[in-house]
C-alpha cells in the first residue's frame, strides 16, 4: 500500500524541485541555443539573398512538420527508458532501443523520400508558385533530408542519457550542433576562399553535417558511459508494464500533426481581422511558442523523474516529483506573465517598427499572458500522463481542446462578435483552460489506476 509522510521537512520537500531544476536547466540551455541558432541561421541566409530566404522559410515550414512528427515517434522510448532505468532494467532499454530504431527509422526513411521527391512542390504551396523558388527549395530540402535519418539515433541516445539523469550530454551535443551549423553556414552559403558558394543548398547541407557531428559525439559519449555498457550486455527484456512502441508513439504523432492543422486554421481566423492583425498575431504566437518551448524542458525533466520513480515502484516519490514539477513550471511563468502584461508594446517593438503592427501585437501579447499559468498547469499534468504511458489520453485532451474549443471560440469571438485579434487569441486561452482541466482529471485518474492494485492488496 502506498503511504505518504504527513509533513516532510524542508530539505526533503525541496529535493524534488532541485531535481527538476537540475535536469531541466541543461535541457533548457540546449533548447534556447537552438532557437538562437535558428535566428542567426535565418539572418545569414537572409543577407545572402531575398529569394533564398523565401525558399528556406517556405521549406522550413514543411520540414519542421516532418521533424516534429518524427520526434513525436520517439516518445515511446523516452517513456520506456525512464521507467526501465528506475527499475534497474537495462534489458528493457535495449529492447526499446531496437524497436524504436526500427519504427522511427522507417518513418524517417519515408519522410526523407517524401522530402526528396516532393519537397520543392510542398514548399511551393507555402511560398508561391514560382519555378525559381521551387528549385531553390528543392535543393535546400535535398541537402537537409538526410538529417531526418540521423535524428532517430540522435534522439534515442539523448532520451537514454536523460533516463539516467545525464542531460549535460544532450546539452553539449545541442550546443555543438548549433556551433558547427553556424560555422558551416558561413563557409557553405557564402563560399569564402576555397569553399564553394552554395547558397540555400549550403544552408541545408550545414544542418545535415552538424547533426552528423552531434551524433558522433553522442555515440562516443555512450561508449564511455557505464550504463550503456550494461545495456549492450543485457538481454532484451520486457519493460515491466503493458506497452509497445506503436501504442505509445502514434497518439503523439497524431497530436503533433493535428496541432499544425489547428494552428493553420487559427491563423486563417486571425487573418480575417486584417493584415496588421495577422502580422501582430504572428508576433504574439511566436512569443507564445518560445515560452512553451522553454517550459517543455522542465516538463520533460518532470516526466523523466516521475517515470524513474514509477519504474522503481516508489509511487510516493513519483507524486512528489509530479507536484514539484508543476510548482517549478508555474514559478517560471509568473515573471514572464507579469512582463507580458506590463510591457506588451515594448516586447512587440523588438520585432517590428510599424506602429500599427506593434499595437496589434501588444494586444495579442496581453492575452497570451493569461495563457501562461494555464500552460504551466497543463504541462505539469501532461508530464505525468506521458510518464505513465497514457499518450492516447493526452492526445484526446489536446485534440478536443484545439478542435472543439479553441477554433470555435476564436472564430465566434473574432468574427460574429467582431472582437478581432483579441477575440481570436481568447480562443487560445480557452484552449489551455480546457486542456489543463482535462489533463488534470486524466492525470489523477491514471495515477489512481496505478495505485489502486496496491491499495487493494
The Cα–Cα gap between 310 and 259 comes to 29
Give residue for cell 525559381: 132
- What is the secondary structure of 215-265 as a DSSP string? HHHHHHHHHH-HHHHHHHHSPP---SSS--HHHHHHHHHHHHHHHHHHHHH
Question: Of all residues in the chain, what percent carry a pLDDT higher than 70?
Answer: 93
Instruction: Output the pLDDT for position 11.
Output: 41
- What is the secondary structure of 89-151 as a DSSP string? -HHHHHHHHHHHHHHHHHHHHHHHHHHHHHHHHHHHHHH-S-HHHHHHHHHHHHHHTHHHHHH
Count the Cβ atoms, other than its own, within 10 Å of residue 124.
22
- Confidence tier at 242 by pLDDT (50, 70, 90): low
pLDDT tens digit sequence for 71-106: 999 999 999 999 999 989 999 999 999 999 999 999
Which residue ranges make up each domain of the chain?
15-243, 244-451
Of 220, 134, 126, which is closest to residue 173 (Cα–Cα)? 220
pLDDT tens digit sequence for 172-208: 998 999 899 889 999 999 998 888 899 989 999 999 9
- Confidence tier at 450 by pLDDT (50, 70, 90): confident
pLDDT tens digit sequence for 426-437: 999 999 999 999
Q: What is the mean pLDDT of residues 59-76?
A: 89
Contacts of 19 (CB under 8 A, 6+ apart): 301, 305, 321, 324
Q: What is the pTM of this model?
A: 0.86
Contacts of 70 (CB under 8 A, 6+ apart): 104, 107, 108, 111, 148, 151, 152
Instruction: Output the pLDDT for position 251.
Output: 92
pLDDT tens digit sequence for 282-297: 888 888 988 998 899 9
Instruction: Output the pLDDT for position 239.
Output: 65
- Confidence tier at 122 by pLDDT (50, 70, 90): confident
Count the Cβ atoms, other than its own, within 10 Å of residue 351.
17
* Terminal C-alpha separation, the chain: 7
The Cα–Cα gap between 210 and 85 comes to 29
- Confidence tier at 351 by pLDDT (50, 70, 90): confident
Average per-residue pLDDT for the chain? 87
Amino acid at each position: 500500500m502506498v503511504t505518504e509522510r504527513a509533513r516532510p521537512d524542508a530539505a526533503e520537500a525541496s529535493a524534488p524541485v532541485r531535481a527538476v531544476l537540475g535536469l531541466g536547466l541543461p535541457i533548457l540551455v540546449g533548447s534556447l541555443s537552438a532557437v538562437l541558432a535558428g535566428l542567426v541561421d535565418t539572418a545569414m541566409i537572409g543577407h545572402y539573398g531575398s529569394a533564398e530566404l523565401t525558399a528556406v522559410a517556405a521549406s522550413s515550414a514543411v520540414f519542421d512538420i516532418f521533424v516534429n512528427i518524427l520526434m513525436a515517434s520517439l516518445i515511446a522510448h523516452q517513456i520506456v527508458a525512464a521507467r526501465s532505468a528506475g527499475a534497474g532494467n537495462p534489458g528493457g532499454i535495449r529492447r526499446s532501443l531496437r524497436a524504436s530504431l526500427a519504427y522511427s527509422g522507417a518513418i524517417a526513411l519515408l519522410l526523407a523520400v517524401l522530402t526528396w521527391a516532393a519537397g520543392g512542390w510542398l514548399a511551393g504551396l507555402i511560398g508561391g508558385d514560382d519555378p525559381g523558388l521551387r528549385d531553390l527549395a528543392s535543393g535546400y530540402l535535398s541537402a537537409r533530408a538526410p538529417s531526418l535519418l540521423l535524428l532517430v539515433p540522435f534522439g534515442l541516445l539523448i532520451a537514454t542519457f536523460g533516463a539516467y539523469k545525464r542531460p549535460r550530454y544532450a546539452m553539449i551535443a545541442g550546443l555543438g550542433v548549433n556551433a558547427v551549423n553556424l560555422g558551416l553556414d558561413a563557409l557553405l552559403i557564402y563560399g569564402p576562399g576555397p569553399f564553394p558558394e552554395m547558397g540555400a543548398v549550403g544552408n541545408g547541407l550545414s544542418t545535415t553535417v552538424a547533426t552528423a557531428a552531434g551524433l558522433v559525439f553522442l555515440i562516443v559519449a555512450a561508449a564511455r558511459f557505464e550504463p550503456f555498457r550494461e545495456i549492450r550486455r543485457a538481454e532484451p527484456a520486457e519493460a515491466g508494464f503493458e506497452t509497445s512502441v506503436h501504442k505509445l508513439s502514434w497518439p503523439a504523432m497524431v497530436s503533433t500533426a493535428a496541432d499544425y492543422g489547428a494552428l493553420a486554421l487559427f491563423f486563417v481566423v486571425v487573418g480575417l481581422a486584417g493584415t496588421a492583425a495577422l502580422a501582430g498575431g504572428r508576433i504574439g504566437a511566436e512569443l507564445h511558442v518560445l515560452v512553451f518551448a522553454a517550459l517543455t524542458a522542465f516538463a520533460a525533466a518532470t516526466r523523466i523523474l516521475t517515470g524513474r520513480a514509477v519504474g522503481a515502484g516508489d509511487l510516493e516519490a513519483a507524486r512528489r516529483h509530479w507536484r514539484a514539477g508543476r510548482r517549478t513550471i508555474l514559478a517560471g511563468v509568473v515573471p514572464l506573465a507579469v512582463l507580458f502584461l506590463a510591457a506588451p508594446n515594448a516586447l512587440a517593438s523588438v520585432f517590428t517598427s510599424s506602429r500599427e503592427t506593434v499595437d496589434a501585437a501588444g494586444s495579442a501579447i496581453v492575452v497570451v499572458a493569461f495563457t501562461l499559468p494555464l500552460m504551466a498547469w497543463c504541462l505539469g499534468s501532461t508530464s505525468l500522463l506521458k510518464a505513465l504511458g497514457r499518450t492516447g489520453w493526452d492526445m484526446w485532451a489536446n485534440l478536443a481542446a484545439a478542435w472543439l474549443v479553441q477554433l470555435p471560440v476564436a472564430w465566434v469571438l473574432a468574427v460574429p462578435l467582431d472582437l478581432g485579434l483579441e477575440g481570436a487569441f481568447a480562443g487560445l486561452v480557452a484552449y489551455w483552460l480546457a486542456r489543463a482541466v482535462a489533463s488534470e482529471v486524466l492525470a489523477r485518474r491514471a495515477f489512481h489506476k496505478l495505485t489502486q492494485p496496491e491499495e487493494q492488496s
